[in-house]
Structure 1
Amino acid sequence: MSAAAVLTRPAPPESSRAVVGTLARIEVRRLLRQPVFVVAVLLFVLIAVTTPFSEYANADYVVTPENGTETNLDWPVLPGFFVGLGGLLAMNRVTKGASRAGDVLLASPATAFQRSLALCLACLVPGAIALAGTAYVFVFWMVDPPIKSVAFTEFSNAQLFSIMVQGVVTAVGGPLLGVAVARWWRWPTAGAITAVGLILWAVLSSLFRDTSWWERLLHHSSPFALAAYNTEGSSWVQGGSHHWRVAYLLGMCSLAALAACAHGSTGEERRRLVRYSIAAAASTLVALALTVFTGPEGYFGPWDPRW
Structure 2
Amino acid sequence: MPTSTASPLRSLALLEARRYARHPLFLVGLGLLLLATVASALQDPVPADLLTQPLVPAMTLGVFGLVVAARLTRSAQDSLDTLGASPVPERTRTAALLLACLVPAAVGLVWTVFTLLWYAANRPSPDAWWYDTLPARDVVGYLLAAGAVASYGGPVLGVVVARWLRWAGAPIVAAVGLIAVTIAGQGIIEPLRTVRTVMPWTHWYGGDNGAGADYYYQGDPSWWLAYTLCLCGLGALAALCHDRTARTRGLVLCAAVLAAAAVATTTLAMVAGPQETRLSPATLHPEQVG
The TM-score with structure 2 as length reference comes to 0.88
Equivalent positions of 1:49-64 (< 5 A) are 49-57=38-46
Q: Which amino acid aligns with 1:229?
A: G
Question: Which residue of 24, 45, 49 maps to 2:34?
Answer: 45
2:45 and 2:165 map into 1 onto residues whose CA distance is: 42
User: In structure 2, what is the equivalent of residue 162 of structure 1?
Assistant: 141
Q: Match for residue 12 of structure 2? A: 23
| 2:249 equivalent to 1:260 | no
Instruction: Note the alpha carbon deviations across 1:223-242, whole angstroms, 9 max, x for none.
Output: 22222112654632111111
Letter in 1 for 2:140: F
One-letter amino acid matched to 2:42: F
Q: Determine whether 1:230 maps to 2:210.
A: no
Q: Say whether the 8 Å CA contact 1:51–1:137 is kept in structure 2.
A: no
- Amino acid of the structure 2 residue aligned with 1:261: L
Q: Contact 1:209 / 1:236 at 8 angstroms: preserved in 2? A: no
Residue 278 of structure 1 is matched in structure 2 by: 256
Residue 116 of structure 2 is matched in structure 1 by 138
Change (3 A) 1:75 1:202: same
User: What is the identity percentage for the equivalent residue pairs of Structure 1 and Structure 2?
Assistant: 30
Q: Does 1:204 align with 2:184?
A: yes
Alignment of 1:28-107 (within 5 A): 28-57=17-46, 70-103=48-81, 107=85
Question: 1:13 offset after TM fit, Å?
Answer: 2.6
Contact 1:151 1:228 survives alignment (8 Å):
no
Mapping for residues 212-251 of structure 1, pairs under 5 Å = 215-218=193-196, 220-230=197-207, 233=210, 235-251=214-230
Cα distance 1:149–1:108, how it changes in 2: closer, same or farther (>3 A)? same
Contact 1:48 1:136 in 2 (8 A): no
Task: Report the Cα offset of residue 265 of structure 1.
Answer: 2.5
Secondary structure at 1:253 match in 2: helix
The 3 A distance-change label for structure 1 pair 126 and 161 is same
Deviations 1:231-283 (A, max 9, x none): 654632111111111100000100110011111232x7443322211111110
**Alpha-carbon deviation of 1:56?**
4.8
Distance in structure 2 (CA, Å) of the matches to 1:144 and 1:189: 44
Report the Cα distance in structure 1 between the residues aligned to 2:130 and 2:15, rounded to whole angstroms: 44
Retained in 1: the 8 A contact 2:164–2:242? Answer: yes
- The structure-2 alpha-carbon separation of the partners of 1:216 and 1:100, relative to structure 1 and needing over 3 Å to count, comes to same
The answer on whether the counterparts of 1:176 and 1:253 sit within 8 Å (CA) in structure 2 is yes
For 1:54 and 1:282, the matched residues in 2 are separated by: 44
Aligned-CA RMSD value:
2.3
Tell me: CA distance 1:56–1:105, structure 2 relative to 1, closer, same or farther (3 Å).
farther
What's the CA shift string for 1:138-189, capped at 9, x where partnerless?
1112222234766553222222211221110010000000001100011111
How far has the Cα of 1:49 moved from its partner?
2.8
Residue 169 of structure 2 is matched in structure 1 by: 189
| Counterpart residue type for residue 159 of structure 1 | D
Deviation digits for residues 68-100 of structure 1, max 9, x if unmatched? x75232002222111111111100100000110
Deviations 1:38-68 (A, max 9, x none): 10011112222332212553xxxxxxxxxxx
Gaps of 5+ in 1: 1-11, 58-68
Residues in 1 aligned to 2:45 and 2:240: alpha-carbon distance in whole angstroms: 42
What are the Cα deviations for residues 173-216 of structure 1, in whole angstroms up to 9, with x where unaligned?
00000001100011111111111111111111135365x7x532
Equivalent pairs, count: 281
- Secondary structure at the aligned position of 1:229 is classed as strand
Q: Determine helix, strand or coil for the equivalent of 2:206.
A: strand
Measure, in 1, the Cα distance between the counterparts of 2:265 and 2:112. 23
